[in-house]
Amino acid sequence: MNDKTLSMNLPATPPALSRPPVGSVVQAAAVLRYLGASRDGAGVTAIARALGIGPSSCFNVLRTLVGEDLVAFDTVTKTYTLGLGTIDLARRALRRDAVVQAAEAPMATLAEMHDAAVGLWRVAPHERLVLVALAESEAATRIHMVVGQRQPASAGATGRAVLAARGLDDAAIAAAYAGIRWQNAPTAADFLGQVRTAQVCGYATDIDQIHCGIATVASTIADDNGVVRFVLSASMFVGRDAATLDRIGAGVRFAAQSLAQVARRTT
């Protein structure tokens, strides 16, 4: 039987749309999402209460996920966190994402050209950004980032870029500012001005504020509907002059604009 025959015999409607969902699978997905949004992990009672799942059912789901390496259990704190198996699944899924694939070459170029850690962040549920790709220079001393790490969608240069792209009013930007944890906080007025500047120049900047000693520039990647899907960033140690940061920002903006064309073709 050839591939054409196989495709003709497939059901017209995916099973998930034509049959009731499997309860245990829905619960497992809810648990994984909950742990993904949890900073320090959680115990079975807290997870069950938050998701409205019976403690016994929640424990069985967690035990199964631990066995599949999708969830990790800390025997000391008795808490659960996402397991390393989720990273492998995520990497396999990301290899099929056209934007992630297209970003590899320009990210490597930016990293070497500017001696920077260049990150591609995906906008995730619950107003979070997830690092899905990273390019580093060959410098002996580098900024440490890990694929899979998360941060609030409004924090740092990436956050300013997202807020700028969304065209929010002053009150919404002020509310976002109030929810950010800073190491060296700008004033609310300065933060608002930085977001407005990002709207004009097409990239945002954070210098020594969200992380002391680090300067970052970032630009958003939107789909055909104007929805921000990714953010491209370049992070380096502080000490670059304003003209250099502007040049790096322009390079990040150009790369992001090119990747936005890929995003529009795939949505």
> Which range marks the domain in which residue 241 is found?
88-265
Query: How is residue 8 written in tokens?
Result: 């003709």
- The pLDDT value recorded for residue 16 is 47
Domain final residue pick, 83, 103, 127: 83
The mean pLDDT value for 79-88 works out to 84
Query: How is residue 44 written in tokens?
Result: 């079975």
Domain final residue pick, 48, 67, 83: 83
Residues 147 and 256 in one domain: yes
Cα distance between residue 44 and residue 57, in whole Å: 10
pLDDT tens digits, one per residue of 18-38: 567 888 899 999 998 888 878
Residues 213 and 127 in one domain: yes
Residues of the chain above pLDDT 70, percent = 90
Residues 127 and 34 in one domain: no
Residues 92 and 54 in one domain: no
**Lookup result for tokens 């009731």:** 20
- Residues 6 or more apart whose CB falls under 8 angstroms from that of 131 comprise 119, 120, 121, 145, 146, 147, 148, 149, 150
- The pLDDT value recorded for residue 138 is 85
